[in-house]
Structure 1
Amino acid sequence: MDDDGLLDDWVLGHARSPRPRVCFLATAGGDSAAYTDRFLSAFRDRACEPGVLPLFRRELDDAALRAFLISQDVVYVGGGNTANLLAVWRVHGVDRLLREACDRGTLLCGVSAGANCWAEGSHTDSFGPLTFLPEGLGLLRGSVCPHYDSELGRRASYRAAVADGSLGAGWALEDGAGALFTDGLLTEAVTRTAQARLYEVAPDGNGGAAERAVPCRLLGAAR
């Protein structure tokens, strides 16, 4: 939900429907009303049907919850606390329903915690200090690290976690970069600025970690 909307439009362009149903999950932010309003403001004028699924004030029974989620063309997950997000999803069975939706062709996406959650593990500040969380949904093998360029200590801390095996090899995204995975494989990398990068990070065999910058397509007009 950047001001220019380039990444949002890129996501919608990969949906299975020309006017997709897009569900926003703000669980990681405690279902913040301000965050929800920001999503609706960003998507209501786009060629889609935006909706929101609150879980802290859940209104749907199990059958209705399943029907709602598997009917979505896109599930867009907001940022916040990754550990809390996963815990709440598991209590309500949303983790299982998202796997089912994915198998049926729903596009799963998100930012920050909403990117972390899909992988086997992630790099997070859910517990205060930067650390590793090896308890993701596992829809994507390996690990994810957001904010690779914008938060002090992220790069070194993630590389250390990959180097010592606390996290599997994975993907580090600078703010403004996006990655599309199909059947577990990276199929497209994009960026909304000329500076943002996506990196593949893996153990280097010498007790450290190596990163490889992945070529990204610049969205929109050149900056």
Structure 2
Amino acid sequence: MSRHDAQVSGIPGGPRRIALLGGGFSTDAEAVLDTWVLGHARAARPRVCFVPTASGDAEGYVDRFLTAFGALDCEPSVLRLFRREADDASLRAFLLAQDVVYAGGGNTANLLAVWRAHGVDRLLTEAYDRGTLLCGISAGANCWAQGSHTDSFGPLTHLPDGLGLLPGSVCPHYDGEPGRRPSYRRAVASGTLPAGWALDDGVGALFTEGTLTETAGRTAIARVYRVEPDGRGGVSEVPVTV
């Protein structure tokens, strides 16, 4: 039995892994980070499911994914929840058959609410426990953590109720959007968000069993940061070499 067959039949297929992306097919014409993600899939030609919930299943976003991943060595598919067709059993079978689940960007709060309404949060937790690589950009990176820094409600703020598969908090667009860095630092310093990880645009961070094990980047200056309270009312911000 192959590792992929073992996964589909319900036998755990590898360590639990999450890849946070500060970019991808929608921002990276050379597909540096997407190729990096596929290199960590458990199958030589992985099944990759794009979940565009955070964008409201925007068709233009879906088209960009299919164009980008159709050119890579994988089997791309899309899970649309705003026009859901699969029943619960079919949805579970489909998600557990994937080697990679790629969550798109958009509104983190809306993504989490829709996933929970359809039970996708539980199915992705099950897939994660069985070795499916979970990844995503922006909202699709935020969702896996305990809490996140988000503009889901307009102004930059915190969202404390993520899926909790990755300990701590996540902040995307650390260098790419005005106000992200100081706002996230204040949230961590005050305890509003737990200590966590901040990603510049253009980086990827792979976590294995909750521990950072690898980083990648499109540029030499992009960074991943560990941000923690410093015990003096501020934060410690430690860059990780990419």
2:84 maps to which residue?
A: 58
1:192 maps to which residue?
A: 218
1:179 to 2:205 alignment: yes
Q: Supply the AA of the counterpart residue of 2:80.
A: P
2:107 maps to which residue?
A: 81
- Runs of 4+ in structure 1 deviating by more than 4 angstroms, as ranges, are none
Taking structure 2 as the reference length, the TM-score comes to: 0.89
For residues 18-46 of structure 1, what are the alpha-carbon distances to aligned partners after superposition, in whole Å with 9 as ceiling and x for unaligned? 00000000000000000000000000021
Q: Supply the AA of the counterpart residue of 1:68.
A: F
2:20 maps to which residue?
A: none
Q: Secondary structure at the match of 1:68?
A: helix
Partners of 2:54 and 2:103 in 1: CA distance: 8
Deviates most, 186-195 or 89-98: 186-195
How many Å apart are 1:62 and its aligned residue? 0.2
The RMSD of aligned alpha carbons is: 0.4
Q: Which runs of 5+ in 1 are unaligned?
A: 217-223
1:125 maps to which residue?
A: 151
- Aligned residue pairs: how many? 216
2:133 maps to which residue?
A: 107
How many Å apart are 1:209 and its aligned residue? 1.0
1:140 maps to which residue?
A: 166
For residues 145-192 of structure 1, what are the alpha-carbon distances to aligned partners after superposition, in whole Å with 9 as ceiling and x for unaligned? 000001110000000000000100000000001100000000001111
1:40 to 2:66 alignment: yes
For residues 69-89 of structure 1, what are the alpha-carbon distances to aligned partners after superposition, in whole Å with 9 as ceiling and x for unaligned? 000000001000000000000
1:220 maps to which residue?
A: none
Q: Which has the higher contact order (CA 8 A, sep 6+)?
A: 2
1:6 maps to which residue?
A: 32
Match of 2:181 among 140, 152, 155: 155
Partners of 1:45 and 1:132 in 2: CA distance: 37
Partners of 2:223 and 2:97 in 1: CA distance: 33
Q: Secondary structure at the match of 2:176?
A: coil
How many Å apart are 1:210 and its aligned residue? 1.4
2:121 maps to which residue?
A: 95
Identity of aligned residues (%): 72
Q: Supply the AA of the counterpart residue of 2:88.
A: D
Q: Which runs of 5+ in 2 are unaligned?
A: 1-24
How many Å apart are 1:198 and its aligned residue? 0.5
1:221 maps to which residue?
A: none
